[in-house]
Chains A and B, each alone.
Chain A
Amino acid sequence: MRWCLAFLLCCFLAAVNALSSSGSRLLVVLDDSTEKSSFSTLWSDLEGRGYDVSFESPKSDKLSLFEHGERAYDHLLILPPKSKGLGPNLTPKHILDFLNKDGNILLALSGKSATSSAISSLLLEADIHLSNDRSAVVIDHFNYDTVSAAEKHDVLLLQRPASLRPDVKAFFDGEGVLALPRVAPQTLGSDSPLIAPVLRAPNTAYAYNPKEEVPAAEDIEATGSQLNIVSAMQARNSARFTVLGSVEALEDKWFSASVKAPGGKKTTTVNREFAKQLTAWTFKETGVLKVGEIKHHLATDGEVALHDLNPKIYRIKNETFFSIEMSEYSYDKWVPFELPAEDELQLEFTMLSPFHRLNLEPTSRTETSTVYSTKFVTPDQHGIFSFRVNYKRPFLTNVEEKHEVTVRHFAHDEYPRSWAISGGWVWIAGLWSVIGGFLAFVVVWLYSAPVADKTKKTQ
């Protein structure tokens, strides 16, 4: 009974406090309970934010990401296993299937031991590359923690990252120093638009395998900011996959450790803050966009009647109005979506290629959403067009709206009538004079008929 009550309470809590926009079932895959205790602050933070955290060992037989073909969990947090690989229930294929079914994954790596080849090949599918021997760590002789790694220089001290580009929202910024011990570095493929670096190594960093003595010059794949400490991939279905290079950064002891950079002051780390940001983003508490109502109709001055809204068919050269309502999820509520500076939300009116590409302007705002809208004239080309809003930015879920409408030609009675064109009057007059002449002729003819007959008879 009490259990039941507790469950109900939990549900209730989850309901009011369901922070993620996509569910609260979180599975943590970790080796054993001793390990579990060293991350206790993280767990309690997560549970405090409403997650329903369950733990499984990768070797466990019970571990299954799917139940009856559906996802059994909404999110997955994988800590690096001590043994080789993640076992038969967490093959790369399973994990990809999980992603394809909109599950989010936070994968933590560690520089302490070599990463398993299964994980490496999984990352390869997402075009995220590990170092050749999978056991390098990032070393920086300028930004290390003098307290804990005075010798090895493998605990990095970094500022939290600012926004990636001026037109991209920053989700991981803030004051304070992060401590990142023994980072397994990742490099990103150069042409995938789906992956983005969250936290990059400083320019002075390089990857080094402590087991080898001196790295051969040609083995160095990347240095400096080409090395990523945290990288993220957002699949086309907006499922998120984050790779964190240093699992230790999430441990209790680093959440509030005091560190000291060379030549700096002693400070406390903001790892806990950063962990919150990172898990919040990965598990879709931030950076989630929602499209509300989409309206399009003929541009009119007054209100639009319901049956005129979102018509299936337009005519060429119609003036058309389009609006889209956008909200963004911020930890526990939907707020109006604001465009970053230097970015634009665009509408395309497309048939094979865009005939119009217009910036949508924010016109009104509700409590939870912003309405962007624009007006334009449909092109002089009939066909099947679509209104498309294709807004894909790093760290924001993909918005791809496509609404097909038909643009038809002028109907037979929509051309100007002849009498409306002044040039046609001449010919209208001509036609009617012919008809008038005809009628007059007929009358005269009939009138003269008997006479003619008589004359003929007389002839």
Chain B
Amino acid sequence: MSIIGDDAPPHGIERLGSARLATERTLPLDPVLADLLGVDGLVRGHTVACRGPAAHSLAVVAAAAAVAMGSWVAVVGVDGLGVEAMADAGLPPERLIRIRVAGDGARSWADLCLAALDGFEVLITCPPARVPAPVATAIRRRLRARGGCLLVVGDPRGLETDVELLSDGPSWRGVGAGTGRLDGRRVEVRATGRRVHRGRAASLSLPGSDGRLHGPETHHPVPLLAAV
């Protein structure tokens, strides 16, 4: 029986830390978004800004496939993300953690982001009003070192982004003058940014009536677990 005293180095913890370093270059990504961005997946180390009226929904669907395949997602300083909408979009809420940020201090927000990036592969955040350049650099370094992905809801402020998903021109279906009910939204989404080479724009159903993202041709994505 080995008794590990106080002074013994925590081998296990160190080994795990390095073993966790990304073995693959990308995290799983919804095929509709992958198509829009002209990539295979969410590239580790990248910062993706989701903007416009569908910013929240975009961030959630961008994270959903990775979380469904086992990644954990931390939401730092974003108030009131609807958990049910996330679950409907295919993001399993059992691997979702939310961290409240006290005040507007860039420092505490940055410390929380850095700590979260150590253990979470996906981070969804709203940066504070001003992100000083050294903070932005520290976050970028940690993202690269840990192989995580940062999804920004709204204005990225001082953060350098690799990809931007811009939403515009939303129109809701199913609701009239006191009739029907909201039954899904069409929204124009354009992929841009310095790491986007074959990006394009498309009219997406986000959310569709089932709460999920559907592409321009409304091809229903293949469920992760098809019936036997």
Q: Do A and B come from one complex?
A: no
Binding site for B on A (CB under 8 A): none
Chain B residues with CB under 8 Å of chain A are none
